[in-house]
Chain A
């Protein structure tokens, strides 16, 4: 192994191409999983392309960042997907966006760019202007998968479907009422956020962009971004700010889980449950509005701290609302759990075995429902979580019911966390604006979003800018597991299974630029094989 820099939360290691597979295998066997990876165009700096693989080692409380570089004239590094299949999407993404080739990758097809995007144009390279418009070429796709026989019907789920509140595409292969196979095609909603942030936004504007990655758990993204920059620049964040961050993150988790319970009820045909959960959730929305001035986009995080302080009066009001929200949620949950037909539809459905879950690297409640004991808040304490007391619920049922129960337990842990934070809020400043931004310093910020681990990697650019920003939403890691969960299930269960990862498609898709004109060719062709291989 080569040079290594030691930081508290992460360790960047330059690995040589010959060693990387071995290192990854050892890390995986040690209990680590693939968190995310990014390609970086470092040519202006050293004439090379780089790939950063972030591997989360929860047991050791550290992220191991494996950095591989390749010269400009031969941008090629060995793939680690054969050793760890969780890396498949990240490598394909780096291939699409930066043009790094991964040797021995089982399936280096396009993942993000549309099929009619011209070959050899890589939007995240630094010589690609952010405002350049591309004319589409002839699409190469259009061939239909042939593995299914006459008796199998293919049922499209999406891109527009009442189950999916965002445009994504699942193709279910159905025989009678049973799913015999499923394919996934996503990345229809690319917003080119990375490019935008790197090209025309300043350091403290990006938190607001990051917050808009997700409409439900945005605060967690802005927090992760700010943490990444703070790590890179060594910014000391005042303690009161850390507590306020944790407060908003937990408020967000409560509202997100209550929202999910409601949606789950709706998908199971129980609309009254939806209304009851959302009624309880409304108190949480009021808390957010009271503290941050808005129900959802809190806009509270900046590099170095938070923007709004909490007065004593607000704390009192919050505690009152919290009591109402907790009481109502408890009452509704307890009664819903008593409804047998709902529980029967979740039990034993959508099974994701622990082994698959580990290899794919699923995160958050999906992992915890498959018996994997992981939680960023505990394993890599950030914000105020080091001082707080909470349990991490783990279930071993591997099914939708387990995912439901993990979220139930988490919701009530979060109520307790909010109360702890409000009772122990330290005095002092809420923001530190005295820092200087170094040039090309790496930083990693991670948070436990309601949907799982959320990782942001940053390379600072000096002069109030970032050189490279790579956010990775939890759904990115959880989605590849969905086709596995769907196989062999009843069509009627497809909605609740897909919903059981609490998917957030646009968050997953944020990463790239796509010409929306080519919607029709997006989902057929070689990708079919891609997802299939993933399943094997």
Chain B
């Protein structure tokens, strides 16, 4: 298959499957909470409903930034999905894939926060503050992990890193990355930026209709891409087998993460940041091991 076509297939798969994955997580959580839970397609139903509705702009907001934020956020995750091999192994590739990936995702978070600031709502301000503090703390750990993995794999291109060589440093790195995937996915206890009972979805509070739909889709795609990169680190083969193993692993991973999410209470922002700073030690270990050649 041509790389362009497989890229297209990948992007379409990501967009279609991400909300479905969220629906599955909701079902898993419901089971762990002794509930019936919504249908698996519920997240899709919600999205379709939202995308049909117009968005309302709060008076006193920075209109252009507020309107721009969802579009930029979604575009950045979609751009990331063009070069991350998901359903099909072949995809666009270039030097420095992982760095680009990390920064495109950070860009999406940044625009979520900016959109929140632009709405001028006090809850959104608090939420955006929290989002940024968390982002900073994440970057700190992630920098070590990415560096460690890169040294271990001998390059930053996905072609070099997928899959990773079996070394102590890559095992530690993948495990640490798995934790970062959990954190970046804004899951409890790290969902401080959107804590519903405290600050009412934080940066998202003023978004509605289409723009809220785009923001939600961004969040779903983001989670899926993080899973995908994590899986790519370990799935060793290509072809049809790869695709089915990938999808199955995706479902398992998502169920495991949802189970964790269902059984944790929320951190305070300071606690979350403190945790992440300590966690940077794991990244450091990974990097150290890699440099030592283990």
Contact = CB atoms under 8 A, between A and B. Distances in A.
Interface of A: 153-156, 161-163, 174, 176-177, 265-276, 279, 339, 341-342, 344-345, 490-495
A271 B262 contact: yes
Contacts of A490: 268-270
Nearest to B188: A269
- 6 A-B pairs closest in CB distance: A269-B266, A270-B265, A275-B33, A268-B265, A342-B265, A492-B268
Given A267-B197, A272-B33, A275-B35, A491 B262 contact: no
Given A163-B197, A269-B191, A495-B197, A341 B126 contact: no
A162 B197 contact: yes
B62 interface: no
A492 B198 CA distance: 6
Given A177-B129, A269-B265, A341-B265, A491 B33 contact: no
A174 B122 CA distance: 10
A177 B270 contact: yes
A342 B122 CA distance: 26
A396 B196 CA distance: 31
B197 A177 contact: no
Interface string B29-40: 100111100000
Contacts of A273: 265
Nearest to A265: B265
Nearest to A273: B265
Interface string B175-192: 000000000000011011
A269 B29 CA distance: 14
Contacts of B200: 161-162
B123 to A, nearest CB: 7
B294 interface: no
B191 A492 contact: no
B198 A177 contact: no
A177 B269 contact: yes
A228 B197 CA distance: 39
B94 interface: no
Contacts of A341: 189, 264-265, 267, 271
A267 B266 CA distance: 9
B33 A271 contact: yes
Contacts of B35: 275
Most B C-beta atoms less than 10 A away, residue of A153, A271, A339, A495: A271
A492 B197 CA distance: 9
Contacts of B269: 177, 490, 492
Nearest to B259: A272
Given A269-B265, A272-B262, A341-B264, A155 B122 contact: yes
A266 B197 contact: yes
A21 to B, nearest CB: 43
Nearest to A340: B265
B265 A491 contact: no
Contacts of A494: 198
B89 interface: no
Contacts of A339: 265
B34 A279 contact: yes
Given A269-B264, A492-B195, A177 B126 contact: yes
Contacts of B141: none
Given A492-B269, A493-B268, 16 more contacts: A153-B126, A161-B200, A177-B130, A269-B189, A269-B264, A271-B29, A272-B262, A273-B265, A275-B33, A276-B33, A276-B34, A344-B271, A345-B266, A490-B270, A492-B266, A495-B198
A207 B35 CA distance: 37
Nearest to A344: B271
A163 B198 contact: yes
B86 interface: no
A237 to B, nearest CB: 42
B125 interface: yes
A490 B269 CA distance: 9
B217 to A, nearest CB: 23
The winner among A153, A275, A494 for most chain B CB atoms within 10 A is A275
Nearest to B32: A272
B255 to A, nearest CB: 15
A155 B34 contact: no
A341 B262 CA distance: 14
Contacts of A265: 265
A148 to B, nearest CB: 13
Contacts of B130: 177
Interface string B67-90: 000000000000000000000000
Contact of B122 (A153, A176, A177, A270): A153
B266 A268 contact: yes
Nearest to A174: B126
A271 B33 CA distance: 8
Given A341-B189, A492-B195, A272 B122 contact: no
A491 B32 CA distance: 30
13 contacts: A153-B122, A153-B126, A162-B200, A174-B126, A177-B130, A177-B270, A269-B266, A270-B265, A272-B29, A339-B265, A342-B265, A492-B269, A493-B268
A291 to B, nearest CB: 26
Interface in B267-293: 267-271
Contacts of A491: 126, 198-199
A342 B268 CA distance: 11
Nearest to B125: A153
A342 to B, nearest CB: 4
| Most-contacted residue by chain A among B191, B265, B270 (CB, 10 A) | B265
Contacts of B33: 271-272, 274-276
Nearest to A269: B266
Interface string B97-132: 000000000000000000000000011011001100
Which of A267, A269, A270, A345 has the most chain B CB atoms closer than 10 A to its own CB?
A: A269
Contact of A269 (B125, B126, B195): B195
A300 to B, nearest CB: 31
Contacts of A279: 34
Nearest to B196: A162
A161 to B, nearest CB: 7
Contact of A272 (B126, B191, B263, B267): B263
Nearest to B192: A492
Interface in B122-156: 122-123, 125-126, 129-130
